[in-house]
Amino acid sequence: QKEVEQNSGPLSVPEGAIASLNCTYSDRGSQSFFWYRQYSGKSPELIMFIYSNGDKEDGRFTAQLNKASQYVSLLIRDSQPSDSATYLCAVPGFQKLVFGTGTRLLVSP
Amino acid sequence: DTGVSQDPRHKITKRGQNVTFRCDPISEHNRLYWYRQTLGQGPEFLTYFQNEAQLEKSRLLSDRFSAERPKGSFSTLEIQRTEQGDSAMYLCASSKSDRAGELFFGEGSRLTVL
């Protein structure tokens, strides 16, 4: 089993809708979780991190963590075409950050 | 400081040649990482430095790959006897020790092996 799993997508949503991106992880001891956004042809950039069970909100972005289910998600409210990108979930491993394959999000005008 | 910089941005080489990439991290960051990314995949960990010490190296990294970080500043990643399977984007990232999950990536060095 991979350490971090994501659906590769693409996930297509209309402008203004809520986009929901999901990630599962295998290590029950993981304490922190990171979401990176990667535009086509660009490098990843950190957009959110969460350490505690529950929700963490930052503008239009909400990260949700459920440690019992080993599940972390990212919600993007009022999706914009500029949100079209690949979203990478990452979990700390030993001495490194382990990334999922990413979910490609397409927001149509 | 303008962030993590990598050089060259693009490198085309013939199979069997050696290539070297350079990374200059954010100055106050003491951790430096090298990742490799191919199309449709997430970044794959290669190696990690804390200051000048190389503390972790992926088992996937063959002995053709070597990385250095002299004096804990810039880092180089060398690939010897390149193979077509080495074609990828090589990403460098840096972070502070107490914020190890908050990586700042450079623009990457794209390698094409013909």
In A15-34, the residues whose Cβ lies within 8 Å of chain B are 32, 34
In eight-state DSSP terms, residue B71 is G
| Residues from chain B contacting residue A94 (CB–CB below 8 Å) | 56
Say what the pLDDT of residue B71 is. 85
Sorting pLDDT into bands at 50, 70 and 90, what band is B59? confident
Provide, as residue numbers in chain B, all residues whose Cβ is less than 8 Å from the Cβ of A96: 33, 45, 48, 56
| Phi-psi category of residue B100: left, alpha or beta, with phi > 0 → left and psi -120 to 50 → alpha | alpha
End-to-end Cα distance, chain B: 36
Cis peptide before A92 (omega within 30 of 0): no
Residue for token pair 């086509």: A40
Residue with tokens 């951790």: B31
pLDDT in the model for residue A40: 95
| CB of A97 less than 8 A from some CB of B | yes
CB within 8 Å: A43 and B56: no
| Residues from chain A contacting residue B45 (CB–CB below 8 Å) | 93, 96-98
Q: In this predicted structure, what is the pLDDT of residue B82?
A: 97
Across the interface, whether the CB atoms of B45 and A49 are under 8 A apart is answered no
pLDDT at B1 over 80: no
The string of DSSP letters for chain A reads: --SEE-----EEEETTSPEEEEEEES-TT---EEEEEE-TTS--EEEEEE-SSEEEEETTEEEEEETTTTEEEEEESS--GGG-EEEEEEEEETTEEEE---EEEEEE-
pLDDT value, residue A1: 59
Task: Give the minimum alpha-carbon distance from B26 to chain A in angstroms, rounded to a whole number.
Answer: 14
CA separation, residue B62 to residues A58, A97, B66, B86, B89 (Å): 41, 20, 9, 11, 17
- For residue range B9-42, what is the model confidence (pLDDT) as tens digits? 999 999 999 999 999 999 999 999 999 999 999 9
Per cent of chain B over pLDDT 90 is: 82
pLDDT grade for B60, boundaries at 50, 70 and 90? confident
**Record: contact B33-A96, CB cut-off 8 A:** yes
Q: Which of B42, B48, B108 is opposite residue A99, by nearest beta carbon?
A: B42
State the average pLDDT over residues B78-97: 96
Task: Flag if A44 and B44 touch (Cβ within 8 Å).
Answer: no
> pLDDT tens track of chain A, all 109 residues?
568 999 988 999 999 999 999 999 998 888 899 999 999 999 999 999 999 888 999 999 999 999 888 999 999 999 999 999 999 999 998 888 999 999 999 999 9
